[in-house]
Structure 1
Amino acid sequence: MDPRQERTRSSLRSAVLDLAAHRPVGSLSVTEVARAAGITRDTFYRHAASPVELLATVLEEELRRIDPPTRGGADEFVRAETRLLQHVAARREIYRRALVEGAEGRVRQVLQAVLAARLGEYLQDHPQDAPAVPDGLGDDVTREILVAYSAAGTVEAITAWLRAGGDEDDIPALARTIVAVGPPSWNRPVGRTP
């Protein structure tokens, strides 16, 4: 990407994050975001279809930069969960509007989809960390259910935390709680087999 395009993307990113921190992104117009970014509406549309999609793209990029667990064990999962919660805390007002007030379903979708994708990648590399289900549906379906359940549950836990105020001091305890209610194989110390 050439430097001018990169500057435009950076301006758009800053503008939509700033505006969405103060108002629901669904109420923002392309004109407002373009003006705040110092670009034209035409230029905006070269980068995004709407303010909602722009915000979704920006948040997805940020979420994908958060390192997922690289190995099993409760400590590794708590570290990964803590990094996610720190991101949410940094964008607290945006996530509060999207998750608690329900003002923007697209942000919820992005958060859940990225969590599911990262967890799916982890389980692809660590199939032993998926719980064995006697007489279950098979490994692939079990993994898919685990990923969907865990991603949705994490989003709902974050929603409950934000509803309660989203205090940053609560992040370590919240990370431990989310991991503790996950599959037992994620809560074991590294080096221990189930």
Structure 2
Amino acid sequence: MSRTERRPEDDPRFQRVRASLIEAVTALAAEKPSEDISVSELTARAGISRTTFYKHADSPSQFLAGYLIEQIRPVMEPMTTLLEVESQDYLLRWRDIMIALLEHVHENPNIYSHVFIGEGESVVLSILTRYFEHVYAGYVEDFAAHVGDESATELWKAMATSQQVHNLIAIIGSWLRTGMVDSPEVVVSTYMSLAPPWQLAKFSPTGRTSLRRNRVVASLLEGISNDDDGHL
């Protein structure tokens, strides 16, 4: 009979140290950007050694980003399967996810202000962006599988994924810059007035949708296509 291998994360001491680190890093990250938090400062606040810290992360920024993603994941992961449940109310479920994410940001305004609107390049934001890319790639693939009138090309999916990631960063950043005076519901409603048409698509009873373009866009694209045909 083989013994089950025990993971370090299952050790009570590991969990206690991690809890101390979370308390310390969130307190410090509310005061200043994580890039300005030294390992010595963090370990002193957490009451642990540097050697112990490096068993958990390579830097304070990496540790903070990992913790934030853990908090965000239960909210964001359903985004990748929105259309697998019931396509008819997918926008309502999308709206609920966005509101829940903004409520999480609202609970940690100082931390997220340093991440999204601080000066210089945020390491935490870079890590969060990669996570958002993963989530939205799944969301776009899920949507593309329901397109009926034409195929969503790889280029379309790549653009749509990048679009969603940058839109999310803009939503959170704009909300923080305006003092978070509007409710998450208002923020989401405001975004929906600016959202790309495909994201607001309606679905048929069979769960299919279209990438139909309005006449102005269709005419523009036709003109570009004709112009390309006349040039090498």
Taking structure 2 as the reference length, the TM-score comes to 0.72
Higher relative CO (Cα under 8 Å, sequence separation at least 6) belongs to: 1
Matching residue of 1:184: 197
Which of the residues 38, 53, 62 maps onto 1:53?
A: 62
Which of the residues 132, 141, 158 maps onto 1:124?
A: 141
Query: Structure 1 residues 187, 145: CA separation in 2 closer, same or farther (over 3 Å shift)?
Result: same
- Name which one, 1 or 2, has greater alpha-carbon Rg: 2
Query: Structure 1 residues 121, 23: CA separation in 2 closer, same or farther (over 3 Å shift)?
Result: same
Letter in 2 for 1:42: T
CA distance in 2, matches of 1:176, 1:13: 33
How many aligned residue pairs are there? 190
Which consecutive aligned stretches of 4+ in structure 1 deviate over 6 angstroms post-superposition?
A: 130-134
CA distance in 2, matches of 1:99, 1:23: 12
Instruction: Compute the displacement of 1:161 (Å).
Output: 1.1
> Does residue 93 of the first structure (1) align with residue 110 of the second (2)?
yes
Root-mean-square deviation (Å):
2.5
| Maintained 8 Å contact 2:17/2:48 | yes
| CA deviation string 1:74-102 (max 9, x = no partner) | 21111111111112112211111122123
| CA deviation string 1:3-23 (max 9, x = no partner) | 111111121112111110112
Instruction: Compute the displacement of 1:139 (Å).
Output: 1.6
Query: Structure 1 residues 162, 130: CA separation in 2 closer, same or farther (over 3 Å shift)?
Result: farther
Unaligned runs of 5+ in 2: 1-9, 211-232
CA distance in 2, matches of 1:56, 1:125: 26
Instruction: Compute the displacement of 1:165 (Å).
Output: 0.3
| Maintained 8 Å contact 2:33/2:118 | no
| Maintained 8 Å contact 1:26/1:103 | no
> Does residue 76 of the first structure (1) align with residue 93 of the second (2)?
yes
Query: Structure 1 residues 132, 42: CA separation in 2 closer, same or farther (over 3 Å shift)?
Result: farther
Letter in 2 for 1:118: V
Instruction: Compute the displacement of 1:52 (Å).
Output: 1.4
SS of 1:39's equivalent?
coil
Matching residue of 2:185: 172
Instruction: Compute the displacement of 1:33 (Å).
Output: 0.9
Unaligned runs of 5+ in 1: none
Letter in 1 for 2:21: L
Query: Structure 1 residues 187, 83: CA separation in 2 closer, same or farther (over 3 Å shift)?
Result: same
Decide which moves more: 118-127 or 144-153: 118-127
Matching residue of 1:7: 16
CA distance in 2, matches of 1:191, 1:121: 21
Instruction: Compute the displacement of 1:131 (Å).
Output: 9.9
CA distance in 1, matches of 2:134, 2:193: 21
Instruction: Compute the displacement of 1:104 (Å).
Output: 5.0
Which of the residues 123, 135, 139 maps onto 2:153?
A: 139
